[in-house]
Amino acid sequence: MAHAAQVGLQDATSPIMEELITFHDHALMIIFLICFLVLYALFLTLTTKLTNTNISDAQEMETVWTILPAIILVLIALPSLRILYMTDEVNDPSLTVKSIGHQWYWTYEYTDYGGLIFNSYMLPPLFLEPGDLRLLDVDNRVVLPIEAPIRMMITSQDVLHSWAVPTLGLKTDAIPGRLNQTTFTATRPGVYYGQCSEICGANHSFMPIVLELIPLKIFEMGPVFTL
């Protein structure tokens, strides 16, 4: 999870998030090069006496600064489109979980486990135990296996919400009357936190998301849900 004064992104826990971090670094290097080039040109403009009259008519230079930005846009667009299509892929999920947004809590339904349904509320400060995180821990965590494709079906019962877990690279809107889906495959166990990322009312800041990811063998042994 994020910590104070963190500059970069959270550590990746899924292949999609690893791809997003790689693309972020790729785009950032291009931005750095562009900024350096522009600042260098500004520095030369301010410190050099422009005595060459041919600079006002340089078709070769105009051709370069027209084609070069187009090449840079292609270098950014190709990996971006690749990741976009990867996030939409749904390949035979091992487990389907439905998440329903409410004001201001989440309801989860394990459709493959006989319709197991439970609500997930933020823990009030008086109920926090040592080690719990204020405004992030919940009473009922979502327990899921690692190294297995998981499909999340996301919707809302009242207003717009957004189901987001940054370390997994997930952010899907919960829209009333519409069922959105997203998939992920976690690569390592742990407890991962997210929050509603769409302003949904007075208590928008108080509907966190907590995923407890465990090995597949332990998950298959029986119910491990923290109800």
Asked whether residue 77 is assigned to any structural domain, the reply reads yes
Structure tokens at 46: 């301010």
Residue 158 in domain: yes
Q: In this predicted structure, what is the pLDDT of residue 227?
A: 45
Q: Is the pLDDT of residue 86 over 90?
A: no
Which residues constitute the domain of residue 67? 15-50+57-88
Using pLDDT thresholds of 50, 70 and 90, give the confidence band for residue 212: very high
- By the 8 A CB rule, do 211 and 191 touch? yes
Same domain, 104 and 66: no
Position 135 in a domain? yes
How many folded domains does the chain comprise?
A: 2
Considering the chain, what percentage of its residues have pLDDT values greater than 70? 93
b (16+ CB within 10 A) / e for 155-180: bbeebebbbbbbbbbbebbbbeeeeb
Asked whether the beta carbons of 210 and 141 are under 8 A apart, the reply is: yes
Better-predicted residue by pLDDT, 71 or 6:
71
pTM of the model: 0.81
What percent of the chain stands above pLDDT 90?
54
Do 148 and 76 reside in the same domain of the chain?
no
3-state secondary structure of 9: coil
Q: How confident is the model at residue 220 (pLDDT cuts 50, 70, 90)?
A: confident
Strand order, beta sheet including 150-156: 116-120, 105-110, 95-102, 150-156, 180-184
- 136 & 189 share domain: yes
CATH code of residue 43: 1.10.287.90
Q: What is the pLDDT of residues 151-192, one digit of tens each?
A: 999 999 999 999 999 999 999 999 999 999 999 999 999 999
Residue 6 lies inside a defined structural domain of this protein: no
Indicate if 83 and 24 belong to the same structural domain.
Answer: yes
What local confidence, expressed as pLDDT, does residue 41 receive? 83
- What confidence tens digit (pLDDT) does each residue in 113-122 have? 777 899 999 9
Residue 53 pLDDT exceeds 70:
no
Q: Is residue 167 included in any domain, yes or no?
A: yes
Amino acid residing at 37: L
Q: Are residues 100 and 207 in the same domain?
A: yes
Residues 69, 145 within the same domain = no
Mapped onto helix, strand or coil, the DSSP state of residue 74 is: helix
C-alpha distances out from residue 170 to 23, 142, 196, Å: 15, 15, 11
Q: Answer whether residue 10 is part of any domain.
A: no
Q: Compare 206 and 222 and report the one with higher pLDDT.
A: 206
Query: Is residue 172 within 8 Å of 163, Cβ to Cβ?
Result: yes
Q: Is residue 30 a part of any domain in this protein?
A: yes
Pairing of the two strands 190-196 and 161-165? antiparallel
